[in-house]
Amino acid sequence: MPDGDVLGDGDAEREMEMERARIAHELIAAVGGLRPPEVPEALCRACCRLLPLASGLSVTVAGHNDGTGIVLCASDHVATRLADIQYTLGEGPSTEAVRLRAPVFAPDLNRPPDTRRWPLFSVQAIKAGAQSVFSLPLSGAGHALGTLDLYRRASGSLTGAHLRTALLVADALSLAVIALDHASPAPEGVVTWLAGAETDREEVHHATGMIMVRLGVSAEEALLRLRARAFAQGRTATEIARAIVARTMDLGDD
């Protein structure tokens, strides 16, 4: 029996390595020969092919100071909206996956424990079109680089081969983000194909600074006020930030 168990473990390891190699090959083939601005969308399409059980997905790189992230790519408007909701509310599986550096799953956003864990996010995610959300961290050296976030239009858990593939895709994306970051010519180490995504987050930082000056509050309180206005109006933090920077909105009355 022990020999049989050992052989079984060896077969499982070989199968895992074959699956890992297949995923790496598909991702490499997807981005081969592309210009940097074309990489995010190509990666997203490849991940969708590898994870057909998901209705859609996004890849986010964690921010340095505010516990939020920059969306590198999203498969559709629902995936984009889910990322925006979590940034606006400051809660959700992605936020928690970065904090815990571990996968965080919400298999049924209509029921506890998910509704207790993220009461605001659950309601908004369902309105956006997601019944279940799964967030897997992109692991770096001792910290989470970001997350691979999957959503489904139906409730239910990821199990068996689907869960294994999702974890392996997240591992492969971690290596891709690290490799692209090291290859970046920018002195601050920002991946060149993140430049467009960084613009949206810079608007939020700019607007936060304007609120700090206008109201004489801390950066943390300014960001909370911005998020609160976004939630109250059913808009994203980025949309509110743009209005503040354009001076078409004033939070002085809050």
Contacts of 217 (CB under 8 A, 6+ apart): 211, 225
State the CATH number of the domain containing residue 205.
1.10.10
Task: Identify the pLDDT of residue 187.
Answer: 36
> How many structural domains compose the chain?
2
Q: Choose the final residue of a domain: 183, 209, 234.
A: 183
13 and 33, same domain (yes or no): yes
- How far out from the chain centre does Cα 212 lie? 28
121 and 233, same domain (yes or no): no
121 and 200, same domain (yes or no): no
Tokens at residue 93, please? Answer: 């599986």
Q: C-alpha angle with apex 45: 193 to 179, nearest 5 degrees?
A: 40
State the CATH number of the domain containing residue 96.
3.30.450.40
User: For residues 167 and 81, what is the distance between their CA atoms, to the nearest angstrom?
Assistant: 23
Task: Identify the pLDDT of residue 214.
Answer: 86
Q: Choose the final residue of a domain: 158, 183, 208.
A: 183
In a domain, 189, yes or no: no
Let me know: does 78 contact 202? Beta carbons within 8 Å: no
Task: Find the largest Cα–Cα distance for the chain.
Answer: 74
Task: Identify the pLDDT of residue 7.
Answer: 46
Task: Identify the pLDDT of residue 254.
Answer: 59
Q: Choose the final residue of a domain: 133, 158, 183.
A: 183
Q: For residue 113, say if its preceding peptide bond is cis, omega within 30 degrees of 0.
A: yes
In a domain, 22, yes or no: yes
Task: Identify the pLDDT of residue 142.
Answer: 67
151 and 230, same domain (yes or no): no
Task: Identify the pLDDT of residue 201.
Answer: 63
DSSP class of residue 244 equals H
49 and 87, same domain (yes or no): yes
Q: What is the full DSSP assignment across 123-143? A: HHHHHHT-SEEEEEEEE-SSS
DSSP bridge partners of 137: 147
Let me know: does 178 contact 145? Beta carbons within 8 Å: yes
pTM of structure: 0.74
**pLDDT averaged over 10-residue windows placed end to end, the chain, 254 residues:** 52 84 88 79 92 94 64 91 88 92 96 96 96 92 84 93 92 78 44 46 79 83 79 76 87 66
Task: Identify the pLDDT of residue 63.
Answer: 64
